[in-house]
Chains A and B, each alone.
Chain A
């Protein structure tokens, strides 16, 4: 019989629940948008038949040759079959930020200040990564 000592903390349950829902939603959206993409329901930014001519290039060369959007500029091409998939990708990649924000109230209620600081710091780190501000130099 499991004792109360093994009881999972409130914030851990909250994190798990949001992760579960978000993962399911993101995965389903990704599958749907991918089907729309490969069946050509929406025109693609890079025609599917031509993609294989370019995916051997370094990403900077790829972006330069095709003038592909970087950062959050893909949002402007959301009507294109390939960039429609980024909705699901962004959901999966952004889920962790949502989970951290969701556990902050529980941590604050418990006055668990070290972990409040850690959680806020992590949100800032992930937001910086997601912002598109950080770009790698080409080579």
Chain B
């Protein structure tokens, strides 16, 4: 059974690589036709500017792209669960690097994908007391405000600058994932006054040891300051911020690992909401991208959870890191006009 699942996983990865490689080929065949803009009537809207040339039929049928998006995000959903990473951090660099969609729309869709995942997971995590509302709310206020700023900066910057910054950030994320440790039950000898005043503490039942675990946090202010930067990056790049939330909550502030992971997931539903609104109000949310992506990632996550029990997580994590490294390099080189 383990053998069968490993082969299935390799099949998915090969399909992903194939589809990702085919994306630019199909996109370049579309680009071979003159750049088209609708002339005259734009259905249901105001007439297009008179200088726009007539539209030319695309070489690739329109339905191919949402189908391909669905397949790719389905596989990303599986890999995200198995690799222990968020769907958003995989989505933006991969879709942005290998598909013909402008990065503005990719980031808008990426935020919606991360948001949908967080909204789906949130209720269960809150009810099991693994996600802490008391920990999340002050952090979310900082992060969501910063995400608005990040989104506005991201939409205002030139494309190449965003690609370079995205590439550098993704490579930095790979570095963090490689080097950052984890602490299941960090020691917090002296909870700070702010966290005590806000009542940021809790007790949860740790099933793996069959005991109740009490937790507190410290370094609240440094943590909140870091969440300013995390929020800006989440908004600017359309990434979910789990890769940053968890180390800050766990290693800096001292929340137990499970509380950190669960609260981080829940936190995304608030942080990404504010940024998603900015992208939506600026027109950077395309249903043709968003809906297949959300459905693909969510179905993939469900399958990923089923495979998780039998797959080898370490091997998958290395594959995911390799994929992220490749996607980060692609974004960086694309922004530098070295690899278009």
**B119 near A126: Cβ-Cβ < 8 Å:** no
Chain A residue contacts of B152, Cβ below 8 A? 134, 136
How many chain A residues touch B (Cβ–Cβ < 8 Å)? Answer: 87
Interface hit among B31-39, B78-86, B308-316: B31-39
Interface hit among B14-22, B173-181, B248-256, B277-285: B277-285
**A8 near B278: Cβ-Cβ < 8 Å:** no
Bound form: Cα–Cα A118–B141 in Å: 7
| Chain A interface main SS type | helix
- Within B167-224, the residues touching A (CB, 8 Å) are 197-199, 203-205, 212
Bound form: Cα–Cα A139–B162 in Å: 11
The bracket for how many chain B residues form the interface is 35 or more
Selected from B112, B126, B140, B212, the residue in CB contact (under 8 A) with A89 is B112
Selected from A8, A53, A92, A112, the residue in CB contact (under 8 A) with B112 is A92
CB distance from A13 to the nearest CB of B (A): 7
Q: Take A45-B43, A51-B62, A80-B44 as given contacts and tell me if A69 and B283 are in contact as well, using a CB distance cutoff of 8 Å.
A: yes
CB distance from B50 to the nearest CB of A (A): 12
Q: Is B333 an interface residue (CB 8 A)?
A: no
Bound form: Cα–Cα A138–B65 in Å: 26
Selected from A17, A31, A67, the residue in CB contact (under 8 A) with B46 is A67
**B212 near A6: Cβ-Cβ < 8 Å:** yes
**B55 near A53: Cβ-Cβ < 8 Å:** yes
**B198 near A59: Cβ-Cβ < 8 Å:** no
Q: Is B138 an interface residue (CB 8 A)?
A: yes
Bound form: Cα–Cα A2–B291 in Å: 40
**B156 near A138: Cβ-Cβ < 8 Å:** yes
Q: Take A92-B116, A125-B145 as given contacts and tell me if A66 and B127 are in contact as well, using a CB distance cutoff of 8 Å.
A: no
Bound form: Cα–Cα A68–B138 in Å: 37
**A47 near B198: Cβ-Cβ < 8 Å:** no
Q: Chain A: which residue is nearest B59 at the CB level?
A: A52
Enumerate chain A interface residues (CB-CB to B < 8 A).
2-3, 5-6, 8-9, 11-13, 15-17, 19-20, 22-23, 26-27, 30-31, 33-34, 37-38, 43-60, 62-72, 77, 79-80, 82, 85-86, 89-90, 92-93, 95-97, 103, 112, 114-115, 118-119, 121-122, 125-126, 128-132, 134-139
> Can you list 19 A-B contacts (CB < 8 A)?
A9-B133, A12-B127, A19-B119, A23-B122, A23-B123, A26-B119, A37-B287, A43-B43, A52-B30, A55-B289, A71-B281, A72-B281, A93-B112, A93-B276, A112-B199, A115-B137, A126-B273, A134-B152, A136-B155
